């Protein structure tokens, strides 16, 4: 029996954005064809598919979760078993694209190991959108995930990324839990050199998205944007 295919299905970054405002229409045929979804959060995935108006009734679909609580190994292998039996699956992140800053990479790795075809679909990535709109070096950049939570350790990490950005010309991207964004932005502006450029990209794809690149000296001259509890990407360049 032929194996199924694992489709990586992007979803909107912002809850305020309708699916087909940011997703290509070609994704619909794949989404309509599937009845098995591996998702970061079942409730979020069901809401996304419902808003997208897929052909199958939501209650007929099977959802299995893959998130930070999923154990690598046996639990991930169990998610792959239906594909080995010929059933295709869609992976859906809580926001944006699966497999990037997302636990979906675990099932993707398992599929490659088993020789199962993996197909990424087009959709919004906050990392790429922020990089595109930053004006910083898009030829060489690195996504670094989350910075340390404790201020002294976070300050050391900020300085290390600044040295890389300035010394190697490589743009340094990172994120933070939205409720800690304001504290992080304050520390970035306090810690970075005045001539270093800093991009803040918040609420990407939402009607009120905000993307600004300024030198740190310029950030210090004005009130900082209100981004607490708003998803954001930060870039040092």
- Tell me which residues of the chain have a pLDDT lower than 50: none
CA–CA gap between residue 33 and residue 156 (Å, rounded): 49
d(CA 126, CA 85): 34
User: From CA 90, how far away is CA 56, in angstroms rounded?
Assistant: 14
Q: How confident is the model at residue 128, as a pLDDT?
A: 97
What's 58's DSSP letter? G
Query: Which pLDDT value is given to residue 1?
Result: 72
Residue 63 has what DSSP assignment?
E
pLDDT score for 124: 96
For residue 28, give the DSSP letter. Answer: H
Give the alpha-carbon dihedral of 163, 146, 64, 89, to 10 degrees: -20
| 198, 234 Cβ separation under 8 angstroms | yes
Q: Are 121 and 27 in contact (CB under 8 A)?
A: yes
pLDDT digits 0-9 by tens, 207-224: 999 999 999 999 999 999
Which long-range contacts does 71-76 make (Cβ < 8 Å, 24+ apart)?
A: 72/106, 76/106, 76/107, 76/110
C-alpha span between 89 and 92 (Å, rounded): 10
- pLDDT for 232 equals 97
**Dist. CA 123–CA 13, nearest whole Å:** 10
Question: How far from each other are the two terminal CA atoms of the chain, in whole angstroms?
Answer: 51
DSSP per-residue letters across 142-210: EEEEEPPSSHHHHHHHHHHHHHHHHHH--EEEEE--GGGHHHHHHHHHHHS-TT-EEEEEESTTSTT-E
What does the chain come to in residues? 237
Rg (CA), the chain: 20
Tokens of 22: 């940011």
């Amino acid at each position: 029996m032929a194996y199924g295919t694992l489709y990586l299905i992007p979803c909107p970054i912002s809850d305020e954005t309708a699916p087909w405002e940011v997703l290509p229409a070609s994704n619909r045929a794949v989404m309509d064809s599937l009845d098995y979804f591996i998702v970061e959060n079942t409730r979020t995935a069901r809401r996304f598919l419902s808003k997208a108006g897929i052909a199958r009734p939501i209650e007929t679909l099977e959802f299995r979760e893959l998130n930070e609580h999923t154990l690598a190994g046996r639990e991930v292998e169990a998610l792959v078993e239906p594909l080995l039996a010929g059933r295709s699956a869609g992976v859906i992140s809580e926001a944006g694209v699966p497999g990037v800053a997302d636990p979906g990479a675990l099932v993707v790795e398992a599929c490659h190991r088993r020789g199962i075809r993996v197909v990424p679909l087009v959709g919004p990535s906050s990392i790429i959108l922020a990089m595109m709109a930053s004006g910083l070096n898009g030829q060489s950049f690195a996504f670094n995930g989350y910075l340390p939570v404790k201020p002294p350790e976070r300050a050391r990490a900020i300085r290390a990324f600044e040295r890389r950005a300035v010394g190697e010309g490589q743009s340094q991207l990172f994120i933070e839990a939205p409720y800690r964004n304001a504290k992080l932005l304050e520390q970035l502006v306090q810690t970075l050199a005045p001539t270093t450029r800093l991009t803040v990209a918040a609420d990407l794809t939402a009607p009120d998205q905000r993307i600004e690149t300024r030198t740190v000296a310029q950030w210090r001259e004005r009130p900082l944007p209100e981004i607490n509890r708003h998803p954001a990407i930060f870039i040092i360049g």
